[in-house]
Copies of this chain bind each other. A is one copy, B any other.
């Protein structure tokens, strides 16, 4: 009596699954929202999805949304890449040296805890009001999260494997490239995952400090004129960017780890 195959990849199943897991719940959420904003909450505070969709449509049509998304994405991606690289490097460096981590960790923590919004003037002084200021803001938002995750990831590298590498006379660079990075990848992944939306927030905070385009600018303008529909259209754009990135990232990471962990995971997963 063969046990039923789990999740057989029959054609049709995938479509049915997609409908069940994505289309139906989304439809329910949107319907509920429409109902709430029609009957419960004034649309000034929570506009109906229909009107947001209309606004997004018209802003897409006249190029306003894409233009501003482009600005924000440019800031976000540059700062994000910078922050991830710097955060991962710093996390690895401090994870590998107890001396440096002992020395620096309180300063890093103190800097992390600074509310960046309050540092607007310093940011302008150092980076101007243009692109570089927003990139710096994004980079700082991203840096710390990636840093702390990577740091812990390095600390959690299997001691047996460290020992094996050291006995094999691995150089520090080899240690990093061949043991620490692959081993801490799960941690770095979460650092990246958690920090991308923060990167968007960072770009928007930067735009609130000074801007003449970008999603933050769109949101600010809308908020200032009680244009809640516009505000939500801006927020919607942020959400779409974040979700697209998250789905892509999770997919890529999942594919990578599945290669060497699939069998045992598939066998004993919690669900």
Within 8 A of B (CB), among A188-224: 189-190, 193-194, 197, 200-201, 204-205, 208, 216, 219-220, 223
In the complex the two chains form, what is the Cα distance from A121 to B5 in whole Å? 51
Q: At the interface with chain B, which of A59-67, A77-85, A148-156? A: A148-156
* Contact between B205 and A270, CB atoms less than 8 A apart: no
Within 8 A of B (CB), among A153-196: 154, 156-157, 159-160, 162-163, 166, 175, 180, 186-187, 189-190, 193-194
A21-B103, A45-B121, A121-B45 given; A113·B271 CB < 8 A: no
A239 within 8 A of B: yes
A154 / chain B contacts, CB cutoff of 8 Å: 270
Residue of B nearest to A7 (CB): B98
* Contact between B113 and A205, CB atoms less than 8 A apart: no
Count of chain A residues near B, Cβ 8 A: 80
In the complex the two chains form, what is the Cα distance from A264 to B99 in whole Å? 19
A238 / chain B contacts, CB cutoff of 8 Å: 113-115
In the complex the two chains form, what is the Cα distance from A186 to B156 in whole Å? 8
* Contact between B200 and A239, CB atoms less than 8 A apart: no
A243 / chain B contacts, CB cutoff of 8 Å: 106, 109-110, 113
Within 8 A of B (CB), among A220-264: 220, 223, 228, 231, 234-235, 238-239, 241-243, 246-247, 250, 264
Partner of A29, one of B107, B112, B122, B145: B107
